[in-house]
Amino acid sequence: MPLSGEAIRTMNYVDDISVTLRRILTVLPSLTEEEKARVADHISKAEPSYESVVAAFKAK
């Protein structure tokens, strides 16, 4: 069964997220401990979170 355009776009969004996460991991070693803590706090408070989106897929 072929995928809809919406499903393909959604998969592209996931690819974009992966690229962003790779960029974060690349920059991580150059951050100070304080900066790492602040970025980690910012990520943990971001909504919707990656985990909440995965949970939404599993719930439906």
The answer to whether residue 60 scores a pLDDT higher than 90 is no
- Percent with pLDDT over 70 in the chain: 98
Q: Mean per-residue pLDDT for 28-43?
A: 97
| Cα dihedral sign, 39-43-44-46 | positive
Instruction: Please tell me the predicted confidence (pLDDT) of residue 53.
Output: 94
> What pLDDT score was predicted for residue 1?
85
Q: In whole numbers, what is the pLDDT of the chain averaged over residues? A: 96
> Given this model, what pLDDT does residue 51 score?
92
Q: Closest by alpha carbon to 17, among 57, 54, 42? A: 54
Structural domain span for residue 22: 5-59
- Give the number of domains in the chain: 1
* Distance from C-alpha of 42 to C-alpha of 37, rounded to nearest angstrom: 9
